[in-house]
Structure 1
Amino acid sequence: MHWTTLTGLLALGAPATALIRFQCSQLVVERLDPLVTPGEVPSPHVHQIVGGNSFNATMDPSKDMPGESTCTTCQFSEDFSNYWTAVLYFKARNGTYKRVPQHSNAGFEGATGGGMTVYYMQDPLYDTKQASKVTAFKPGFRMFVGDVNARTKQEAARFRQLTYTCMDNAGSRENETVAFPARVCPYGIMTSVRFPTCWDGVNLDSPNHMAHMSYPESGTFESGGPCPASHPVRTSQVMYEVIWDTRQFNDPADWPADGSQPFVWSFGDPSGYANHGDYVFGWKDNALQNILDTKCYATSCGGKQQSIADMNKCAGLKKTVDEDIGERLQQLPGGHMPEPERR
């Protein structure tokens, strides 16, 4: 898939100053993955999805996603994109599994299923100027970040932008790790998923859903590193924050007898190194670019927005896969078993 007209893409307009931050309620939780395993019902492991209600097992890239969707669980009502991650489970001492619920970020209370907070950043989150020039993604664009097979710190190092925060309270944001926290987290565990920011300017996707995107040639996104010549188009950084509500699992008596951490991803990773995320672009018309070209912050960015109550009306998409994915399971959905961390 290609976007063939690059004219004017590299000659962007005046510097923009937008940092977009908004909440999306949970659309559905089930074993579907139209990016990595399109058409496979069920997909190998459980995901939690937010965004437009045209989400389905195939997500044909030739179709008009905004036109296919009739509503979205996201705060910006013209954002019919789909954002998804794997699901976290707690493995009890008796060997059973229970899905860990989510809760929303502070200020977004009431979002169905907790959902996730989504960012589009032109510069690092702490840079209030947000002065870099970026271009919005194009219809049909999609990408993936992470490695579901990573089980060592070295394997995870390629994706250092995928992290965990052990939250002592709702404002905890420090001491990120690339592995699951090893201690009880009083408020919950937050996963942060940060996508690459350099696009090749041609391909809307690639066989591994990553090759058409790149990290900076030198330095990092945070240091303002330049994009490589192979991927010259600078995009905003898409970032997800998901808060897993681990409070009901904080009793050490329920943890493994050896004191090791008890959480495992839905595909069998107990190390945390295989954190990953999927993204399928679906903003209507030029809505995203218009916002990125506006001086604004968070939800003051204009555009068409809806209340959390209206977001929630779009939640609860009818499931394609009928199975128990949540309560005291003898094994993870799909038959996955935890794979120990490799040394």
Structure 2
Amino acid sequence: MSLPARFPSSLFVFTIFVVHFCEAYWLMAPNNIITTQRLDPVVSPGAVSTHAHSVLGGSNFGLNISTAVLRDSSCTSIPIPEDKSNYWFPQMYFQWANGSFTSVSGNAVILFVQRHSWIYYGISGGFPNAIRRSNPSRIDIMSCPGGISCPSGIRSQINFPSCWNGKDTDSRDHKSHVAFLSTGPDNGTCNDPAFPVTLPRIFMEVYWISQVFDDQRKNAMTPSQPFVFAHGDPTGYGYHADFFNGWDSGVLQRALNGCNCNPYGDPTCCVNQGIFGMNKSSVCYITETVDEQTLGTLETLPGNNPIQAPCYQTYIDPVTPAILSPVYVYNGSTGGPTGTVVIPAQTAIVTQTANGSCIRKGSAISSKRPSWLHFFAVLAPAVGSWVL
């Protein structure tokens, strides 16, 4: 997680890279986050997820999704209406000294690119398989220095794997069918014969508006580093993001072939060529499937996840919230009608709990931690649109 970086300078450096190496590249800013819920249809299909995610994209996001289902969404929060994909990532919270949490909000930006280029999602606020990567060389990027304020907010970054085995759209561990480029996530080629197919490059940044809490640090559980992710992670090493393809058939491939008319990532020329549309003012929201509060000030993290560092133990919340149906789509700042309970809340006897050895109790965070990153990406059945 890069903490003090400013958007204009990072965008300049990024543009320099693209000018020299990419064939197609465009930036766009998602119009809004459609929902924040404990849902993860890649890792936990059909079930309540262990932690809350903020979601971008098509309105048909839910417990179970597919490319066909997403393409049938009635709206999308992506300004390109042909992109009804879903993108999701864990919500960030500020932890108060009394143990409660307040959600951190923000806005978004996105970049899409051809091979050796980027699809860039910068989100402040709130892919088909999972990849985990250890990257010790990037430990400074992922460190969260104690006592440092970030006037421009905190920025989380994710690179998605760019090499595919050409056969499987998913794998049992959600990662074995894809791999990173030969010299890391930022550059290289797909020279491993086991992963010969180059996918479009996706790079995602989330810009959290954490600076609004600067004058409240003295009231935090851990004033030196008061922010945690929804899965109970105060370090950022467990940060992850997911993508599920919902692009209209053929549009992404045409964009990758033709959106190379300027070096600045401006999608206007792609729109002028008729490759895709652009609507920067439309918004898209959905009502909750999981009947629980995830935003605002909460007594516990959704799922009652403990704050754990430097190690991590799996924690299972004995209480599962009710499931609501149907899900309503709305386009205003206030929600539409709420679904009714179709599966009641349940309480189970749980024996697998965190025993306390990993639970942080307000101490300062060390920057010397294993830098495990989680990457999730779903290649839809129409994966041919990703093959260059």
- TM-score, normalised on structure 1? 0.73
User: Which residue, 83, 86, 109 being the options, matches 1:82?
Assistant: 86
Give, in whole Å, the separation in 2 of the partners of 1:215 and 1:267. Answer: 25
Match of 2:51 in 1: 45
Q: Secondary structure at the residue paired with 2:298?
A: coil
The 5 A counterparts of 1:29-178 are: 29-40=36-47, 42-59=48-65, 61=66, 64-102=68-106, 114-124=107-117, 142-146=128-132, 156-157=134-135, 177-178=141-142
- Flag the 1:82–1:181 CA change in 2: closer, same or farther, 3 A: farther
Give, in whole Å, the separation in 2 of the partners of 1:26 and 1:325. Answer: 13
Are 1:230 and 2:198 counterparts?
no
Give the letter aligned to residue 286 of structure 1. Answer: G
* Equivalent residues of 1:16, 1:293 under 8 A apart: no
* Equivalent residues of 1:19, 1:122 under 8 A apart: no
Give, in whole Å, the separation in 2 of the partners of 1:220 and 1:69. Answer: 35
User: Which residue, 239, 247, 262 being the options, matches 2:211?
Assistant: 247
Give the letter aligned to residue 50 of structure 2. Answer: P
Residue-by-residue CA offset, 1:26-79 (whole Å, 9 max, x unaligned): 111111111100000x221100000111111011x4x61354212211121111
Give, in whole Å, the separation in 1 of the partners of 2:185 and 2:49. Answer: 32
* Structure 1 residue 325 displacement after superposition: 1.5
* Structure 1 residue 322 displacement after superposition: 2.0
* Equivalent residues of 1:145, 1:277 under 8 A apart: no
Any runs of at least 4 consecutive aligned residues in structure 1 with deviations exceeding 6 A, and if so which?
A: none
Residue-by-residue CA offset, 1:274-316 (whole Å, 9 max, x unaligned): 0111110111111001011112334233322232212x1x2x2
User: Which residue, 11, 14, 26 being the options, matches 2:33?
Assistant: 26
Are 1:304 and 2:276 counterparts?
yes
- Flag the 1:118–1:65 CA change in 2: closer, same or farther, 3 A: farther
Give, in whole Å, the separation in 1 of the partners of 2:101 and 2:255. Answer: 42
Give the letter aligned to residue 22 of structure 1. Answer: M
Give, in whole Å, the separation in 2 of the partners of 1:159 and 1:197. Answer: 20
The 5 A counterparts of 1:198-277 are: 198-216=163-181, 218-251=182-215, 252-256=217-221, 259-277=223-241
Residue-by-residue CA offset, 1:92-126 (whole Å, 9 max, x unaligned): 12221111111xxxxxxxxxxx245343353256x
Give the letter aligned to residue 163 of structure 2. Answer: C
Are 1:188 and 2:187 counterparts?
no
Indicate the larger mover: 87-96 or 295-304. Answer: 295-304
Match of 2:302 in 1: 333
Q: Secondary structure at the residue paired with 2:253?
A: helix
Question: Looking at both structures, which has the greater relative contact order when contacts are Cα pairs under 8 Å and sequence separation is at least 6?
Answer: 1
> Structure 2: which 5+ runs fail to align?
1-20, 119-126, 312-368, 370-388
Give the letter aligned to residue 304 of structure 1. Answer: F
Give, in whole Å, the separation in 2 of the partners of 1:337 and 1:39. Answer: 24
- Flag the 1:48–1:120 CA change in 2: closer, same or farther, 3 A: farther
Give, in whole Å, the separation in 2 of the partners of 1:80 and 1:293. Answer: 20
Give, in whole Å, the separation in 2 of the partners of 1:29 and 1:66. Answer: 18
> Structure 1: which 5+ runs fail to align?
1-14, 103-113, 126-140, 148-155, 164-175
Give, in whole Å, the separation in 2 of the partners of 1:73 and 1:158. Answer: 35
Give the letter aligned to residue 112 of structure 2. Answer: Y
* Equivalent residues of 2:59, 2:70 under 8 A apart: no
* Structure 1 residue 146 displacement after superposition: 4.2
Q: Secondary structure at the residue paired with 1:276?
A: coil
Match of 2:254 in 1: 290
- Flag the 1:121–1:158 CA change in 2: closer, same or farther, 3 A: farther
Indicate the larger mover: 186-195 or 323-332. Answer: 323-332
Give the letter aligned to residue 242 of structure 2. Answer: D
- Flag the 1:187–1:29 CA change in 2: closer, same or farther, 3 A: same
* Structure 1 residue 323 displacement after superposition: 1.4
Structure whose residues are more often helix by fraction: 2
Give, in whole Å, the separation in 2 of the partners of 1:285 and 1:71. Answer: 16
* Structure 1 residue 269 displacement after superposition: 0.8
Give the letter aligned to residue 25 of structure 2. Answer: L
Give, in whole Å, the separation in 2 of the partners of 1:328 and 1:34. Answer: 26
